[in-house]
Chain A
C-alpha cells in the first residue's frame, strides 16, 4: 500500500503538511487535496495539523522570498503532481537554503522553475488578453478560462491600472469571481455572488465595432502569417478575445 497524505486544499495547509511530514520522517508516496479519489492500492491518511501562518515568514527568512513565490506559483498550477514536487523541493531547500534555485540539476528544482515560469507567463499573457465589456452603471466585466489559477495576481494588476473603475473578473473554469469596488477587490465563489442581469451599456456595441475595424485594418495582408499569430496568441484563449472569437 502507498501512503497518500491529505491536506485541506489551500497553500498554507499544504506547507504545514509538508513540514510535519519532514519533521516526523514519515514515508511519503504522495500528497493530495481532499477531492482526490484514491486507487485500490493507496492508503489515505488525514492529518489534522493546525495551520500556522508563521511558516510563511520562516520560508522567506530561511530561503528567500523568491523561493516562496515560486512555490506558490507551482501551487496555482494544474500540474498533477505539484504537491509531491513541492515536497521534494522543500526537502532539498532545507539542505541548500538560499542557494536551492541554482541547483537546476535536481529534478524537483528544474520542475519548480519550469512550472513557475509557465504560471507567470500565463499571468503576463492574460494581462493583455483579458477583455472587459461595459455593462450598465459603468461596470466593467470580463470572463476568462486560464489554465492556471491566476485570478489573484491578475486582480493585483487591474487594481492599479483600473483604479477608479468598478470591475469584475470571472474565472469560468474555477467558478470564482474577483470583484473590485474602487477600493479593494475580493475573490468569491460563483454561488456567493449574484450578478443582477445587467445589460451591456449603450456604447458597448459601437466600441466593439470600432475595435474590430482597427484589428482587421492593422494587419498587413502581404505579410499574413497565421502560424505566427497562433504561436503568440494560442487558440485556447480565443473564445473570450473580442476581435478573434468569431474566427473560431
Chain B
C-alpha cells in the first residue's frame, strides 16, 4: 500500500479525537531538531475550524475491540492499514522541518494485545527521540490494559500522555464499549498522576468524552469532569459531539452532531477551571441540563440577579469573574488598574473590556450603564438571548449546508 493511502486511512480514523493542544511543555533543542513552546502553537485550521497543531494519526486502525460508536470497530468492514515505525518518523520529521506541525499525536487501535500495541508505540516514539533526536511535541495515547512497565517507558518519551474515558458513566461504557473497562483507564490516570514530573509527561494528561451517544445528562457529565479534575489533576477534559459513523440500534440516530450542547459543556468546563464555579452552582436535579439558549454563566447570573449589579471599582476578583461578559483577562486588568485610578465607563472601553453583555450587570463608579428601570430579569434575558441567537443561527446555517 502506498504511503499516501495509509496516511489517508490512519488520519481519517484519528480525526474524532478532539485534543490537539501542544502546550505545557518546555523541551529544549539540544543537538537535533525541534523544541516545544510552552504556550503551544497552532499551525493550521481544518475545514471544520479546529486547530491542527499535531500530526494526528493512528499507528493502525486494526482493532480487536468492538465499540459501537467507533469507525474502526472489529465488526466494521473498513480498509485497514498499519504504519511501520520508520514511516511515521519520515512523515513526522519532514512535516516538522517544513513547519507544518508542532509534533506528533500518536494513538492506535488495539492490535493483537494491549501490550503488543503499546510496544509498537514505544518503538516508534523511541526512534524519533533517540535515533532522529526529535525534540518536538509528542502526545501519545496510553493503551488501557497494558502493563505498568510499558506505561512507565512511554511516559518518559512523550510530552503528554492520555487515556480516553469515552463515556461519562459506567453504564454507558458497558452498553457501547463492552470490551473496555473503566478500571483500566482509571489505573492509567492514577499512574500518570503519580509519576508526573519534568521528565515524565511534562505536559500532563487529558481525556475525552463522547457527548450525545448515550443518555447522560449534563449534570452527570460535568460531575464526572469535576471529579476528574479534582482527583487526577487533568489538564483538560475534551468533549466530542457524537458524529454518527455507524448504524446500530444501541446508538441514537442524530441528524447533526450536538454541537451547541458540546459548546455549552466547554463553556461550563472553563467556568469550573478558571472562574471558581462549582457544578452545583450551575446545575441541579431539577435543571440537569444546560439552557441551550444561554451560556451557563449568563444563565447563572439571571437566576441570581440579587447579586447584581456589581461595582467594578470595589468588588473582588472572584466577583468580577461572575459578571457575564467579563473574562479572566478583563478581570485582571480591572484589578491591576483600579489601584491607580478610579474606573469610569469610558476607561472600561479603553481597557478593552467588552460591554455588550457586561453592561446589564455592572455599576461603574456608582452609575448603572443603561437605564436603571431596565434592570429586571425579563428585559436582560430577552436582550442577551437575542444577541446569542444571532451567533447560533449563523452557526446553524454553516451546518445546514451539509
Contacts and interface: CB of A to CB of B under 8 A. Distances in A.
A103 B351 CA distance: 9
A144 B64 CA distance: 47
Contacts of A142: 99
Interface stretch (B113-121, B278-286, B336-344): B336-344
B56 interface: yes
Contacts of A56: none
Given A127-B37, A217-B12, A219-B15, A224 B97 contact: no
A137 interface: no
The DSSP consensus for interface residues of chain B is loop
Contact of B402 (A164, A217, A221, A227): A221
B333 interface: yes
Contacts, number: 172
Interface in A169-218: 203, 207, 209-211, 213-218
A217 B8 contact: yes
Contact of A131 (B14, B33, B100): B100
B41 interface: yes
Contacts of B398: 224-228
B29 A160 contact: yes
Given A107-B350, A219-B15, A211 B41 contact: no
B-side interface size class? 35 or more
B99 A103 contact: no
Given A160-B35, A164-B32, A210 B97 contact: no
A44 to B, nearest CB: 32
Interface string B54-84: 0110000000000000000000000000000
A108 to B, nearest CB: 11
A175 to B, nearest CB: 22
A224 to B, nearest CB: 5
Contacts of B343: 105
A215 B44 contact: yes
A232 B259 contact: no
B49 A161 contact: no
A131 B95 CA distance: 10
Contact of A128 (B15, B28, B42, B95): B42
Contacts of A242: 98, 100
A221 B91 contact: no
A-side interface size class? 35 or more
B402 A224 contact: yes
B39 interface: yes
Q: Which of A160, A161, A226 has the most CB of B within 10 A?
A: A161
A162 interface: yes
Contacts of A207: 94-95, 98
Given A128-B43, A128-B44, A218-B15, A223 B259 contact: yes
Contacts of B402: 221-222, 224
B230 interface: no
A211 B399 CA distance: 26
B43 A105 contact: no
B371 to A, nearest CB: 25
A110 interface: yes
Contacts of B50: 219-220, 223
A222 B257 contact: yes
Given A210-B95, A215-B44, A220-B50, 20 more contacts: A103-B337, A103-B341, A124-B41, A128-B44, A128-B53, A129-B44, A132-B99, A207-B94, A220-B46, A223-B257, A224-B48, A225-B395, A225-B399, A226-B47, A227-B398, A228-B49, A228-B398, A232-B42, A232-B49, A242-B98
8 contacts: A102-B340, A128-B43, A128-B102, A161-B35, A163-B31, A164-B32, A225-B47, A244-B44
Closest 10 CB pairs of A and B: A228-B49, A219-B47, A219-B46, A225-B49, A223-B48, A128-B43, A105-B347, A217-B11, A233-B45, A110-B350
Interface of A: 99, 102-105, 107, 110, 114, 124, 127-134, 140, 142, 160-165, 203, 207, 209-211, 213-229, 231-233, 241-244
